[in-house]
Structure 1
Amino acid sequence: MSSPLPLAEEHPPARRRLGCVAAAIIVAAIVAVGGYAGLHWFRSGMDLGGPVCHATAGGETVTFSPEQMDNAGTIVGIAMGRGLPARAGTIAIATAIQESKLRNINYGDRDSLGLFQQRPSMGWGTPEEILDPEYSTNTFYDVLVTVPGWENGVVTEVAQEVQRSAFPDAYGDHEREGRAIASTLSGHTPAGLVCRLDAPIRHTETEDLVGDLERQLGLTATVSADSRTLSLTLGSEEQAWSVGQYLVAKAERHSITAVVVDDRSWTRASGPSGLTWLPTDDPVGAHTVTATLTPQR
């Protein structure tokens, strides 16, 4: 017959203490690993498999919601339409992330409003004007281009010259995100901007889409007679990628289901395929962009 197990109080005290210490270390390690994983999950955009957009440039990937990337498309698109360098987009995006998290919000500190938290009382415009993303973005650039040396200046210092914020050091915290988004949307980084989206729930308002392209990018698009395809012929491959990735950023707003640039295509999907540009069997040429729209039934 085997020997009876000793009672708890018969265990050597030192061994018990060592066991408790070891258990505590193991628990602490599990908590630390879990905390790190949770922090990584939070910083990477809390991707739970729903709609999301990524911008990848220079080995950096940043993650935002379709709403945020839509606003980013407006901000960088207007910079391109005004003939400004990608650096302008970087500064504007970094500023908007700090001020509003890239959302067109109707509240803020005191009377601050919109993407850039501009204040009517400080002469930025009426509340209605400031809450128009195109207006607020253009007014931001109107001031930016008057700042001496803005093209090569430090993001924090240049943005502060425009915004006159009470927290001037915060803008530089978002330069990495601003650079990745601006690099893709300006066309410097091809095939870097993607969005995973659910199926469209409404048809494409072609007049709204064509109007956005004209007002923001200064471009004229052609829409097919059946309202299924939009096409543009651009002056360079870089501009084609700028427009193509702008259309992906605007895909949720305008119910776009596919974009083709040269020999690569992005196809709207709620799964992993929505997060990549793939080779296409029907290339359109290095200077051409096409978008597949959702026609009215």
Structure 2
Amino acid sequence: MPTPSPSPKRRGRLLRFGAACVVLSAVAGYVVVQYVAGGTGDPGCRVVSGDGTGKSYEFTPEQAVNAATIAAVGTDRAMPERAVAIALATALQESGLRNLTHGDRDSLGLFQQRPSQGWGTVKQVTDPAYSANIFYEHLAKVDDYTELPLTVAAQRVQRSGYPEAYAKHEPDATVLAAALTGASAASLTCDGRSGPTTTTGPAAVQAALARDFGRVADAVTDKDTAPPAAESGGRTVTLPVTEDTTAGGRSVSERGWQLAHWAVANATALRIERVSYAGRVWVSGNSGSQWRATGSTTAEAAGGSAAGGGADSVRIVTAQ
């Protein structure tokens, strides 16, 4: 005998049950994404606290580029280090410091901003520099945000369904902000391994600087000098670091270390081989890619004087 078809009433119950399962699965997936976001994947970069506590955070080159952009945009707006930490913690939670092209409903980008809620167009909110800038614009309107708990300050901007989730990222974001604003010297390193890239060389570095900082001091390539630096063959970008290049009350030293750390964070994307500042040098893939005193290794010594950036400039050597 053929199996009787379920009654209309029973079919209705089955449909409602199926719909409820779909909704529950979607909610569960959203919760998992919100709480898991921030995983570091395959780390290639590391930042260490400069306060002697030994706190550290490991992250990927992709995350490093986005974190450096967030910090650069913040300092260009003369926002304090605390604001940068709030922004970084928010991006760690919302996207894991990845420029996502998907999210809950129409949420997109580093901060999962929604075009339908007035944050900007799809193109804008998936532009890391734009999304960071609009985040800071909203944060600046929060009264006494530097005195508020990080979760409260972030929530007043984001209006998240899980505001307490920001708290777990505060330690990492604080260490990262100190390095990427230059407050903590020689504290950010990357292994600089080769990765996918579309453009390299001094022009690419200068374009990335303009993208992130908006108004960085004029960079000088060794093609502009006579004679050019012997070791670079036209591959060196020199960034002057003076009082005129600082922002938000930061010192010359902080500005210098911010630019130096920015370059290391972008080393994989821009194929940067060496960064030097204030008598310290980072070399891609050399001796654990740590910051070392100028000339302390054979590879660095081979660079001659150009390898040793002084306190008045940051020198960046690219692969080509």
The verdict on a shared fold, with TM-score over 0.5 as the criterion, is yes
Q: 2-side partners of 1:46 and 1:206: how far apart?
A: 30
Question: Between the two proteins, what is the percent identity of the paired residues?
Answer: 38
SS at match of 1:257: strand
SS at match of 2:97: coil
Whether 2:62 is the aligned partner of 1:67: answer: yes
C-alpha displacement at 1:45, in angstroms?
Answer: 5.4
TM, length-normalised to structure 1: 0.79
Alignment partner, residue 255 of structure 1:
271
C-alpha displacement at 1:84, in angstroms?
Answer: 1.3
Q: 1-side partners of 2:169 and 2:139: how far apart?
A: 17
Whether 2:265 is the aligned partner of 1:273: answer: no
Alignment partner, residue 214 of structure 1:
210
Alignment partner, residue 291 of structure 1:
316
State the aligned residue count: 248
- String of CA shifts for 1:97-128, please: whole Å, max 9, x gaps: 00000000100011100000000111101111
Whether 2:131 is the aligned partner of 1:136: answer: yes
Larger Rg: 1
Query: Is contact 1:193-1:248 (8 Å) kept?
Result: yes
Kindly provide the amino acid, as one letter, of the partner of residue 277 in structure 1.
Answer: W
Q: Which runs of 5+ in 2 are unaligned?
A: 1-37, 224-232, 243-251, 296-304
Q: 2-side partners of 1:80 and 1:166: how far apart?
A: 29
Whether 2:234 is the aligned partner of 1:227: answer: yes
Kindly provide the amino acid, as one letter, of the partner of residue 279 in structure 1.
Answer: A
Q: 2-side partners of 1:227 and 1:131: how far apart?
A: 33
Kindly provide the amino acid, as one letter, of the partner of residue 146 in structure 1.
Answer: K
Kindly provide the amino acid, as one letter, of the partner of residue 202 in structure 2.
Answer: T
SS at match of 2:147: coil
Whether 2:136 is the aligned partner of 1:120: answer: no
Summarize the alignment of residues 1-297 of structure 1 with structure 2, pairs less than 5 Å apart.
52-57=44-49, 58=51, 59-199=54-194, 204-217=200-213, 218-219=215-216, 220-225=218-223, 226-235=233-242, 236-269=252-285, 272-274=287-289, 276-281=290-295, 282=305, 283-295=308-320
C-alpha displacement at 1:136, in angstroms?
Answer: 0.6
Q: 1-side partners of 2:196 and 2:95: how far apart?
A: 27
TM, length-normalised to structure 2: 0.73
Alignment partner, residue 228 of structure 2:
none
C-alpha displacement at 1:287, in angstroms?
Answer: 2.7
Query: Is contact 1:259-1:267 (8 Å) kept?
Result: yes
- String of CA shifts for 1:140-197, please: whole Å, max 9, x gaps: 0110101000122210000000000011111111011111111001111101000013
Change (3 A) 1:200 1:231: farther
